Amino acid sequence: MAGIVAGAGQPLAVVLALAASACFAVAAVTQQGAAARLPSQRAFEPAVLARLARQPVWLAGLAAVIAGFVAQAAALGLGRLVVIEPVLATSLLLALALAARRDRRRLCRAEWAAALAVVAGLAVFLVAGQPAGGQRTAGAASLALAAAVAAGLIGACTLLAGRFSASRRALLFGIGGGAAAGATDALVKSVTVVAAAHVLALLTDVRFYLLIAVGLLTFTIQQNGYRAAGLAAFLPAFAVMEPVCGSLLGLIVYHERLSDRPGQIAVELAACAAATWGIARLAGSGAVAAAQPAGPVSAGPVSPAPETGPA
């Protein structure tokens, strides 16, 4: 029987989520730098993880991802999705600051304002609803449906990738990857609770295998987003879609509750507009050009040009 989320563990869950967001920010900057230098002739590279795994710098970023995942799993095991998700989005600010330092450039005031608008707008959007209640685990059927939707969205993104410019392709991957990451977070929450009760029970729990599958899909499209363009083109959309989709799943499958008062709904709409403005501003900023693909890309393999003989 699914337990009810208690409020006592919420402060510790927030601290763990902040630690996870710091790890994810370091990982994003490290891995994006490696992925941007990866030569490829495809708009979407299915084997991107295998190719990047040969680079020590990227593996160092992977260690930060693992550390962040452990902290995130602990936070989700203790807290509500609608509380933890906006805290994780604070990684956007740190990641953009670290990327600017790496690229030896300063974020201008407009870029800082846009990044703050994304994070603050998202936090206000979710927190203004006064989250309450909720179960600690969700059923396998509902989580499987969420995983299937996430996989379908990633498939659509890969099919459309070759039709867009590098920055728009990164934005597309950010949307699809962020939605899949939200589904991953919903799976992590249940899997963490199951593992805490009896770790061997995971071997017979379909949610564990769904987590592996969706997690790999999310990580693959994330690395392709890093490869497509600068961090500011990919990360804002990803950082918003993950908590929004994760929180929606918290409401739908974990039965968490938000307030439906008219005044709070108006605040949430204003916050959503601020976050949307921030994404659009960052996507068009100079930070997008900070890292570009190492070579030209196309929707699929490029055929060699026919040889020409001497005139």
Top-confidence residue, 40 or 13: 13
Q: Give the DSSP H or E segment for 311.
A: none
Highest mean pLDDT, choosing among 148-162, 250-264, 296-310: 148-162
Residue 305 within any structural domain of the chain: no
Residue 167 within any structural domain of the chain: yes
Span 60-84, average pLDDT = 89
Indicate the range of 5-14, 130-139, 164-173, 254-263 predicted with least confidence. 5-14
Specify the amino acid at residue 11: P
Instruction: Give the integer Cα–Cα distance in Å for 150 and 179.
Output: 6
pLDDT at 230: 78
Residue 215 sits at the vertex; the CA angle it makes with 212 and 218, to the nearest 5 degrees, is: 150
Residue 191 within any structural domain of the chain: yes
The number of domains in the chain is 1
From the list 226, 235, 227, the residue with the least C-alpha distance to 97 is 235
Q: Which domain holds residue 271?
A: 10-290
Residue 187 within any structural domain of the chain: yes
- Following DSSP, what letter does each residue of 103-136 receive, concatenated? TT-PPPHHHHHHHHHHHHHHHHHHHTT--EE-BS
Please determine, for residue 47, whether its predicted confidence score (pLDDT) is greater than 80. Answer: yes
Residue 42 within any structural domain of the chain: yes
Instruction: Give the integer Cα–Cα distance in Å for 273 and 176.
Output: 20
What are the two backbone dihedrals, phi and then psi, of residue 250, each rounded to the nearest 5 degrees? -60, -40
Residue 3 within any structural domain of the chain: no
Please determine, for residue 291, whether its predicted confidence score (pLDDT) is greater than 50. Answer: no
Span 260-268, average pLDDT = 78
Q: Grade residue 277 by pLDDT with cuts at 50, 70 and 90.
A: confident
Residue 234 within any structural domain of the chain: yes
Please determine, for residue 142, whether its predicted confidence score (pLDDT) is greater than 90. Answer: yes
Whole-model pTM: value is 0.78
Residue 309 within any structural domain of the chain: no
